[in-house]
Chain A
Amino acid sequence: MTATTSGRARQTAWVTLLVVLVLVTAVLPLLLTGGQSGGRTLDPADTSLNGSGALARLLEAHGVEVVRVETPGAAVAAAGPQTLLLVTEASFLNRDAARRIAEAPGDRLVAGSVPHLDVLASGVRRQGPVRARSRAPECALREAARAGDAFTGGMSFAGPPGATGCYPAGDGHALVRYTADGHTVTVLGDASFMTNLRLAEDGNAALALNLAGAQPKLVWLAEPDDPGEAGDPGAGAEGQARSLGDLMPGGVRWAVLQLAVAVALAALWRGRRLGPVVVERLPVVVRAAETVEGRGRLYRSRRARDRAALALRAAAADRLAPRLGLPRTATAEEVAVAAAARAGLDPEPVLALLCGPPPGDDTALVALAAHLDTLERQVRDS
């Protein structure tokens, strides 16, 4: 008894622990990301603090055509010799897509912590993270020099030979521009100077306009609504498969395999029985009253009122006969007459009760049983 009780208590404790764990894992990410929710970061169509709607409007006011695209395919299609491709968010891209973007014609502006930097801006090396803050340009690059101080940083870069570096930070520069194969590629460690929040500070707006408005047409690659469909429409199913595999770190697949091994071992542990199953020949469990119940149901389903009434009347007569001093062999009529005489009743209804015709319906049968009981009681009490 105590063993099972303590076992149950332990089970309850385990269940509680599990529930708490599940709740914590569900709530924790919400708490951690709660402050950043709302708005799509660096999206030209977004007007929240994290978006870049203001910059897009400004560029359009300056006569720059802003084209917002969500897929690398669309970006490549929209790009031309007189265009600038702005990449601020590329975590949904895979290497193939990044490579195709890198091969697109026109200039390229890469801002923020963008993956596949070695493809998008080959030759630029990361020097290490630095704090994003207001920095002075300290370089000859016209766009930066004219803008003045700007909110830059995030990552410091070292450019290839011949590259221009601005906003020195750490061992390198927060902005690096170089030219390769006729494209001008600009890399920035942090893109937050282009957000609605920071655009009005320092020379951020000037720097953003100078950099993004360099060409008459700006192709802005924004994060799609549904990253699952982010692949190139032309790539079809291949794109979808890649996107899922790309989102998973490499170790997950192996960890799942290892977990499968663990599950298999657990199955072996639970599946091994401690000794054989014990069989036993058990006696049948049959209640003796089952035949009587069956007969009762049979009467009911066949509406066998005649037989039922006969059985009830015979039983009543059998019980009455010894009380009235009659032999067991007495007929129902004799019993009825004697009973009526004893109880001081009219013999006619008693005769009808004990040997009348079978009742016409179930109600009459129920009434008959009640009347027989009453007659027995009257004879007993008289």
Chain B
Amino acid sequence: MALTGRAGLLAALAAIVVLLAPEPGLVVPAAALVLATLMAADLLLAGAVRGLRFQRDGERRVRLGQSAAIGLVVDNPGPRRVRGVLRDAWQPSAGAAPRRVPLDVPARERRRLVTTLTPTRRGDREAVAVTVRSVGPLGLAARQRTFHVPWTVRVLPPFLSRRHLPARLARLRELDGRHPALVRGQGTEFDSLREYVVGDDVRSIDWRASARRSDVVVRTWRPERDRRVLIVLDTGRTSAGRVGVAPVSVAPVGGDRSSGWPRLDWSMDAALLLAALAARAGDRVDFLAYDRAVRAQVSGASRTELLSSLVDAMAPIEAELVEADAAGMVAAVLSRARRRCLVVLLTDLNAAAMEEGLLPVLPSLSSRHMVVVASVADPRVAGMAAGRGTAEAVYDAAAAERLRGERREITAVLRRHGVEVVDALPEDVAPALADAYLALKATGRL
């Protein structure tokens, strides 16, 4: 049960009557009695909420930054009209709107209400409760009841870096030799023989074949195909740190963008671009998220389903506030990758964590696989390193330079182990990683 503002207003008006009445001592209890009677009658006449039935429909997944419409069908099997207000409560970061909707369902009818979700972060968002308040005909009192109508919407990573994909695919076609620019395929794998056309590189002429065909024939090459790419996402404590500025399209309306976006989300963005590119290049892509245990994995997905299963696997991952277990991660990678493959490790170049964690176990990985370490650099550190003028700024600059020195050092150590390192600012890490992959492919190092 609930009261409305009218009940209070009525009581306040009764106070005026009491003030003017000749026998105020009698009016007060009389007013209370009348009010109580009216409220009881209102409660009795209000539409029953106990029997209401609910049904949801709508979207199950939505990209971060976009909106999803979730329908809620309210079925009133009772004999009286249910009139009042309904609140469809979701977790706050689901961004559900409107917060409360007016409800008017005639007897034995149903109505469909729509809640629009504009999530502000990745993950699974759940509908918590549906509360109905059915107001009586006098508008004095209301019946209220809360129902549990489950629904889950999975908020997928936004894959903002997909705007870099066309340019990278054009580069890939160039490598393939399918590009209109008649560039000889730069790959290392022999593809086919074809007739020479003006403009072909004379060095690619196959003289033996030309002799047989009494025509000039060139060899074409193409990059290796059907290589395996294993993307490993470090979800340990270093991935929780927020860097850069949250992209406009995914920042909550009126929210604070300057707190940045977690490294984990930037890394996912880079992983998605790489996966999309590698799948188009004909490579097989597997995915593994690991901190002290396997958090998510995708293996053996077909090319067409790869991206959707990847975003699905990534969506619920949150950074765990524990130190990542590098040895366990390497073991997990080795158990999944029996053949030589490209292992892309998305982590942070944190000197202390690397020296104790990854470096001791790196040789066992880099000896059998091609390893790329990609890391998101912090633009704030670069900004601090440029600070001059006051003692405070210079002390901050010294601290930033010290961190950058450590990163350079660890990068050098990794390169000595034959590991490719991509260290780029948040907005650049996805294209930089894609370029590193294309460079590896062009030189046939996969």
Identify the A interface with B (CB < 8 A): 3, 250-259, 261-263, 265-266, 268-269, 272, 274-276, 278, 280, 282-293, 295-300, 304, 307-309, 311-312, 314-315, 318, 328, 362-363, 365-366, 369-370, 373
Contacts and interface: CB of A to CB of B under 8 A. Distances in A.
Contacts of A276: 89, 128-129, 131, 146
Interface stretch (B20-28, B215-223, B289-297, B334-342): B20-28
A272 B144 contact: yes
A283 B262 contact: yes
A296 B399 contact: yes
Contacts of B2: 269, 272
Interface in B378-409: 378, 380-381, 384-385, 388-392, 394-405, 408
Contacts of B8: 262-263, 265-266, 269
B93 A282 contact: yes
7 contacts: A254-B25, A256-B15, A261-B14, A275-B129, A278-B92, A283-B319, A307-B398
A304 B130 CA distance: 59
B243 interface: yes
A373 B388 contact: yes
A30 to B, nearest CB: 23
Nearest to B263: A288
Contacts of B5: 266, 269
B44 interface: no
Given A254-B24, A269-B8, A315-B404, A262 B14 contact: yes
A254 B21 CA distance: 10
Given A274-B133, A275-B130, A365-B395, 19 more contacts: A253-B24, A254-B18, A255-B15, A262-B15, A269-B7, A274-B100, A275-B87, A278-B90, A278-B91, A280-B93, A285-B242, A290-B241, A292-B400, A296-B384, A298-B399, A299-B399, A300-B392, A312-B394, A318-B405
B183 interface: no
Interface size class of B (residues with CB under 8 A): 35 or more
A293 B384 contact: yes
A310 to B, nearest CB: 8
Q: Rank and list the top 4 A-B pairs by shortest CB-CB distance, nearest first.
A: A288-B241, A275-B131, A308-B398, A266-B8
A293 B398 CA distance: 10
Contact of B243 (A3, A288, A314): A288
B3 A369 contact: no
Nearest to A366: B394
A318 B408 CA distance: 9
A328 B405 CA distance: 12
Contacts of B89: 275-276, 278
A353 to B, nearest CB: 15
B153 to A, nearest CB: 14
> Which applies to chain A's interface (DSSP): helix, strand, loop or mixed?
helix
Contacts of B12: 259, 262
Nearest to A299: B395
Contact of B11 (A262, A300, A370): A262
B439 interface: no
B396 A278 contact: no
Contacts of A282: 93
Contacts of B21: 251
A287 B260 contact: yes
Nearest to B146: A275
Contacts of A311: 398-399, 401-402, 405
Contacts of A261: 11, 14, 28, 31-32
B398 A309 contact: yes
B87 A369 contact: no
B19 interface: yes
Nearest to B243: A288
A255 B19 contact: yes
A287 B241 contact: yes
A292 B381 contact: yes
B322 interface: no
Contacts of B19: 251-252, 254-255
A366 B390 contact: yes
A86 B260 CA distance: 86
B105 interface: no
Contacts of A253: 24
A269 B3 contact: yes
A191 to B, nearest CB: 30
Contacts of B18: 251, 254-255, 257-258
A313 to B, nearest CB: 9
Nearest to A274: B87
Nearest to A314: B405
Contacts of A269: 2-5, 7-8
A254 B28 contact: yes
A225 B100 CA distance: 59
Nearest to A367: B394
A314 B405 CA distance: 8
A274 B144 CA distance: 8
B397 A254 contact: no
B397 to A, nearest CB: 6
A250 to B, nearest CB: 6
A318 to B, nearest CB: 6
Nearest to A328: B412
A358 B281 CA distance: 55
Nearest to B264: A283
A62 B223 CA distance: 135
Contacts of A308: 394-395, 398-399
Contacts of B404: 315
- Chain B CB count within 10 A is highest, among A254, A365, A366, for A254
Nearest to B22: A251
A344 B90 CA distance: 69
- Chain B CB count within 10 A is highest, among A255, A256, A298, for A255
A288 B398 CA distance: 17
A276 B401 CA distance: 50
A259 B389 contact: no
A197 B30 CA distance: 51
B152 to A, nearest CB: 14
Given A251-B20, A289-B381, A295 B399 contact: yes
Contacts of B55: none
Interface in B91-125: 91-93, 98, 100, 121
A275 B89 CA distance: 8
A314 B409 CA distance: 12
B240 interface: yes
Contacts of B240: 283-284, 286
B259 interface: yes
B216 to A, nearest CB: 45
